[in-house]
Structure 1
Amino acid sequence: MASLYTPYTLTLSPPPAPPHIQLQFRFLRDGEVTSAPKILRLFRGYSDIADVQLVFFAEGGEYSNTCSVSLAVFLAQGEWLAIGLDDALPRRIRATYLAFAESGTYTFNITSGEGGGQQGDPARVAARVRVERLPVNREVVLLERPIDGEWRLAGYGPTPGGSVEIDLRVVGGDVYALAVDDYGVRFVADLAVQVGQRIRPTQYTGWVYEITQAGQLPSVEPAWWAAVGENPSQPLGTARAVARRYFQPIALGPGPVEVV
């Protein structure tokens, strides 16, 4: 008697792994490569300094180990407190805040901060940024051209609410301001995104996409769109986004600063 039973198997595909980035550090000491071991620890902030998140160690003094970390976690955190240590005498330590948006080898200079040369007089400048006549938070970089013609960084800072006074160090030269728009993060499949983040197509065509509803980017890069009419939000995976024009950096100057 023939059997009607047909054996079969059911295979479930595991969900796609969330996007990760690979981080490595190249360590310098006072701007130079040295052979003494160096270590860098990442923390979420000063109040969480007892809770180390990542450790990078360079036994040979220059290149550290590589860590694979969740891109969504790093973007959601924003800035991370980084503390680097070179225990060779005289010992050096440096603490600063770092932000990461993609894989790479990042240079970290462990320096005493006692470099020679004139550091400049304290000053301030009022910075105001408008995009399409509306106040926005953007990075403003101040460059100074002293009498010797050698350009230097005088200061920088964001403009929360659209305007702020930025602290500078000047040496009596002409000061120019450079306003930088948010270029966004290059599209990564299945990336978890938050409201306010900007996503940039892998083939940039003049538009970036601002997340208006949190979710996850699609597994395949979509057909990107331009802002039309009232520019309604559109699905972007399980998230939603609106198209925003990316504005090239704008420079002004020279302009007056207030020495304090």
Structure 2
Amino acid sequence: MPDLANDEATGEAAALSGRLAIAVYEQIERLIRRGEFPKGVKLPPEAELARRFGVSRPVVREALARLREEGIVRSQQGSGTFVIRGMLPSAAALPPIRTLADLLRYYEYRTDVEAATAGLAAERRTTDDIAAISKVLAGAEDMLKQGQLQLLADANFAFHRAVAQATRNPFYVRTLEMMPNFIGRHKLDLVVSNDSTSEAHLWRIHREHVAIFEAIEAADPARARTEMQRHILAARDVVLNRQSLLETVEFDVRE
């Protein structure tokens, strides 16, 4: 007689492994898209990727297999896995941020797009979306409590991406991924310095994320839009007020 319980458990394990592989695939693809793994570079070994993403090596292998199938990476026996397709042209063609005026335009654009994203997420979110966003927030809170502040940049992006996914519209996810990676490169939103205010600043960001989440969970589009607008504008103000950080970018402030 077939062991239905065992078959069901095996099926659930396979489904979980498949979901994890998709998640790892999406994260690696995002890193490639954002230029963190540029064309021609060798990806870290499977074991290192497994540690980085908190999954098993078979999950990483499955994710890499999908990347190979899509022509994004190529594996060479004995040499490793190499990126053969870098940032998509549509992402590379977005305006760079070179001046203070560009920075202000970027935040104007980001405020409108992400507020609309949060509003749609509040209208369309499912219980799975709520669970996904909640999990990201719980992970960020753990990082804050444990003082793992350098890990929060990825958690910050993961929150915004989870909100975009809740719109059920992949264009919002892609739009988020293709935004100029100014904040990711220069860590201006999530700077971890030696002063006493940096941790307080990161906790404030977390509270803003929680407020956005609560509006989405309550299915309140207007409040979700308002909370997201407030969050993005607060991030803009922090960046503009940190003159020493702005000096790390070659701004032509005469504009």
What is the TM-score when the length of structure 2 is the normalising length? 0.24
Which one has the largest radius of gyration?
1
Higher helix share: 2
What is the TM-score when the length of structure 1 is the normalising length? 0.24
> Taking CA–CA contacts closer than 8 Å with sequence separation of 6 or more, which of the two structures ends up with the larger relative contact order?
2
